């Protein structure tokens, strides 16, 4: 795991944001605004309401990232998106 990775558990998914890789395209925000938001430092972060995200919407958001700064893992730790 990279040194500047933020991790959050949302349902049965473990989500990771690689803050070094993020270029703030906000594609993930467009797909799942209740999970991701643009932080004050112009890097994607988790929204306060992230726990309310729906699985398919989250996976679409992770897959939408053009620089692969997001990762979703299932309960076994297997990467399922992107």
Q: Judging by beta carbons within 10 Å of its beta carbon (0-12, 13-18, 19+), is residue 13 exposed, middle or buried? A: buried
pLDDT of residue 10: 92
3-24 tens-digit pLDDT: 799 999 999 999 999 999 999 9
User: Tokens 């309960």 correspond to what residue?
Assistant: 75
The domains found in the chain, sorted by start residue, are 5-74 (3.30.70.20)
Any alpha helices (H) in the chain, and if so which ranges? 27-31, 55-64
Q: What gap in Å lies between CA 15 and CA 32, rounded to an integer?
A: 13
Structure tokens at 3: 């040194």
Q: Which residues contact 64 (CB under 8 A, 6 or more apart)?
A: 27, 28, 30, 31
Of 28-32, 47-51, 72-76, minimum mean pLDDT range: 47-51
Does the pTM exceed 0.95? no
């Amino acid at each position: 795991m990279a040194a500047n990775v933020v991790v959050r558990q949302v349902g049965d998914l473990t989500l990771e944001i690689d803050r070094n890789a993020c270029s703030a395209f906000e594609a993930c925000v467009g797909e799942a605004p209740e999970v991701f938001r643009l932080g004050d430092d112009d890097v994607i972060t988790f929204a306060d309401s992230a726990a309310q995200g729906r699985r398919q919407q989250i996976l679409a958001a992770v897959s939408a990232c053009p620089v692969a700064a997001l990762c979703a893992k299932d309960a076994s730790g297997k990467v399922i998106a992107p």
